[in-house]
Amino acid sequence: MKKFTCVQDIGDLKSALAEAFEIQKDRFKYVELGRNKTLMMIFFNSSLRTRLSTQKAALNLGMNVMVLDINQGAWKLETERGVIMDGDKPEHLLEAIPVMGCYCDIIGVRSFARFEDRDFDYQETILNQFIQYSGRPVFSMEAATRHPLQSFADLITIEEYKKTARPKVVMTWAPHPRPLPQAVPNSFAEWMNATDYDFVITHPEGYELAPQFVGNAKVEYDQMKAFEGADFIYAKNWAAYTGDNYGQILSKDREWTVSDRQMAVTNNAFFMHCLPVRRNMIVTDDVIESPQSIVIPEAANREISATVVLKRLIEGLE
């Protein structure tokens, strides 16, 4: 594997899952593979799970690890080409990227959507500059439009907990005080559409995701109807995508907050969320603390998904 930015990069999901469950049984099985190989993790945005689980995954494979928080300690970076750099940004990304590539073998990048220009975000401008100019294999640690490490961990979790071959999986929008990226819901939808699950997306009108991610999923504007008979509930907030509303908050309706009321019409569904989660906005305390909440095992599986991805990137090194 030469990059990991989307579901297509992992190839056949059944073999990826088999590798994940093999590593789950013995996460140090390939501890010699990464000897004298260096992972560099670059964060333009905050992180807890991705930062810790990906570093742990690298240690599972015997790698060295370097972490750079771009906004703490590095020079402020200009990302636009053609700009006269007479302001407060001493360095251009187009120098910084190949320099960082000199010091490592594999690069992970976290760079959220900026919501200033939809095309800039949806062309994955920052992530693709790392792919183009670093000279190294690059993987996404959540970029503008996807979060594949999270989605792979979500799939591993559903496979672990499902009680039927084709579970009903419902992704529901929920309210949030800030405009959040579409990366997690886009990516979850992309991975769910790559399975044979019964996948439903529910959100208020106006929150339609980009068609290339919705795919063949059923979209249901009535949340209670969507929840009927569900086996898994995947809650997430996202800002509007469509038209002039890009990056906007259209609703903070707390009728959409996942509570016992909605969970009561499911098939005793498991509750999932990528975390961090705003309690009593996205989900009530009772639901996220219930026996059906699997948000912690879901987070634990981030180590497994990252170990499989790093293993395949190391194997792909010339």
Ligand X SMILES: CCC[C@H](NC(=O)CCC(=O)O)C(=O)O
Q: Which residues bind ligand CP (CB under 6 A)?
A: 47-51, 142, 150, 274-276
Q: Which stretch binds ligand X (CB under 6 A): 9-17, 53-61, 119-127, 177-185?
A: 177-185
Q: Is 33 annotated as a binding residue?
A: no
Q: Which amino acid is at 234?
A: Y
Does 180 bind ligand X (CB under 6 A)? Our answer is yes
Q: Which does 180 bind (CB under 5 to 8 A by kind): ligand X, ligand CP, none?
A: ligand X
Q: Are 233 and 170 in contact (CB under 8 A)?
A: yes
Closer residue to ligand X in complex, CB, 125/151:
151
Q: Binding segment for ligand X among 95-103, 198-206, 213-221, 271-279 (CB under 6 A)?
A: 271-279
Please tell me whether 166 is known to bind a ligand. no
Among 28, 31, 26, 306, which Cα is nearest to 141's? Answer: 306
Q: Are 213 and 190 in contact (CB under 8 A)?
A: yes
Q: Which does 48 bind (CB under 5 to 8 A by kind): ligand CP, ligand X, none?
A: ligand CP
Q: Which amino acid is at 111?
A: S
Instruction: Find out whether 50 is annotated in a ligand binding site.
Output: yes
* Sign of the Cα pseudo-torsion (206, 210, 211, 214, in order): negative
Q: For residues 275 and 294, give the distance between their C-alpha atoms in angstroms, rounded to a whole number.
A: 11
CA–CA distance from 10 to each of 6, 19, 225 (Å)?
A: 8, 11, 33
For the record, the structure tokens of 66 come out as 């370097």
Please give the Cα distance from 40 to 43 (Å, whole number).
Answer: 10
Residue 262 is labelled as binding a ligand: no
Q: Which stretch binds ligand X (CB under 6 A): 83-91, 122-130, 179-187, 241-249?
A: 179-187
Among residues 25, 102, 178, 244, the one that binds ligand X under rule CB under 6 A: 178
Between 134 and 187, whose beta carbon lies closer to ligand X?
Answer: 187
Q: State the minimum distance, in angstroms, from the CB of residue 40 to ligand X.
A: 20
Query: Judged by CB under 6 A, which of 101, 137, 148, 181 binds ligand X?
Result: 181
278 binds ligand X, rule: CB under 6 A: yes
For position 114 contacting ligand X by CB under 6 A, the verdict is no
Q: How many Cα atoms within 13 Å fall on the side-chain side of residue 310?
A: 38
Measure the CA–CA gap between 2 and 4, rounded to whole angstroms: 7
Give the residue from 283, 190, 297, 282 showing the smallest Cα distance to 237.
Answer: 282
Q: Does the annotation flag 236 for ligand binding? A: yes
Displacement of CA 103 from its chain's centroid (Å): 26
User: What phi, psi does 133 have (nearest 5°)?
Assistant: -110, -10
184 binds ligand X per the rule CB under 6 A? yes
Helix (H) or strand (E) holding 64: strand 64-69
Q: How far is the CB of 45 from ligand CP (least distance, A)?
A: 8
Phi–psi pair at 43, nearest 5 degrees: -115, 120
Contacts with ligand X in 127-166 (CB under 6 A)? 142
Whether 225 has a binding-site annotation, put simply, is: no
Q: Which residue is nearest to ligand CP (CB)?
A: 50
Binding partner of residue 278 among ligand X, ligand CP, none, CB cut-off 5 to 8 Å per kind? ligand X
Binding residues for carbamoyl phosphate: 47-50, 75, 110, 147-150, 274-275, 302
Q: Which residues bind ligand X (CB under 6 A)?
A: 142, 178, 180-181, 183-184, 274, 276, 278
Binding residues: 47-50, 75, 110, 142, 147-150, 176, 236, 274-275, 278, 302
